[in-house]
């Protein structure tokens, strides 16, 4: 048996994120079963939207961000890269790229987004509205950032194609 001290940082982050995402998926599943997909989507988005300001305040504190606002894309890149290491582990099968100025590009491995696979497994994929990219948008709203997302985030993009990807384009 391993002690906590013997676990790597990556193992701890993975364990905590898997547990959090399993909880998230289970409450969505039970809401979907009891209330239907429209209510599950609405409640999911409400929960994400109300959680995002708390998550970002905690993240800013944990990472030692002392400013009132993120002032530049370089500052955003530094903050988001550190935050993503804590909240977007490899099992989610997504990649985030900030190599283009003022652009965060997201992309998920074809037919391999963790949320897509989970929603398909529980039979909710046909009506599921993406909570993953919506969560990022809510983080950015909570940080007071100005952006546009392309494509617009609505239903699951993997439901109608193999891939999911797009850009958040920021204005600083």
State CA 129 to chain mean position distance: 13
Give the domain extent around 158: 4-171
pLDDT of residue 155: 87
> What pLDDT, on a 0 to 100 scale, did the predictor assign at position 93?
86
Q: How many domains does the chain have?
A: 1
pLDDT for position 160 = 86
Residues of the chain scoring pLDDT < 70: none
| pLDDT the model gives residue 71 | 96
CATH number, domain containing residue 148: 3.30.1380
Buried b (16+ CB within 10 A) or exposed e, 73-97: beebbebbeebbeebbbeebbbeee
Tell me the pLDDT tens digit for each residue of 122-148. 999 999 999 999 999 999 999 999 999
The pLDDT assigned to 65 comes to 95
pTM over 0.95: no
Burial of 21: CB neighbours in 10 Å, binned 0-12, 13-18, 19+ = middle
> Which DSSP category does 130 fall into?
P
Which helix (DSSP H) or strand (DSSP E) does residue 168 occupy?
A: strand 164-171
């Amino acid at each position: 048996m391993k002690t906590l001290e013997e676990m790597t940082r990556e193992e701890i982050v993975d364990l905590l994120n898997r547990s959090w995402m399993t909880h998230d998926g289970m409450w969505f599943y039970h809401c979907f079963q009891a209330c239907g997909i429209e209510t599950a989507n609405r409640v999911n988005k409400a929960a994400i939207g109300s959680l995002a300001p708390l998550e970002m305040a905690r993240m800013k504190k944990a990472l030692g961000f002392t400013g009132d606002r993120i002032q530049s894309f370089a500052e955003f890149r530094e903050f988001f890269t550190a935050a993503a290491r804590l909240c977007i582990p490899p099992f989610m099968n997504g990649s985030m790229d900030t190599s283009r100025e003022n652009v965060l590009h997201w992309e998920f491995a074809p037919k391999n987004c963790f949320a897509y696979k989970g929603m398909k497994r529980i039979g909710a994929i046909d009506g599921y509205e993406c909570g993953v990219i919506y969560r990022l948008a809510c983080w950015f709203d909570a940080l007071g950032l100005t952006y546009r997302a392309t494509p617009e985030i609505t239903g699951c993009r993997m439901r109608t194609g193999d891939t999911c990807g797009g850009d958040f384009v920021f204005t600083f």
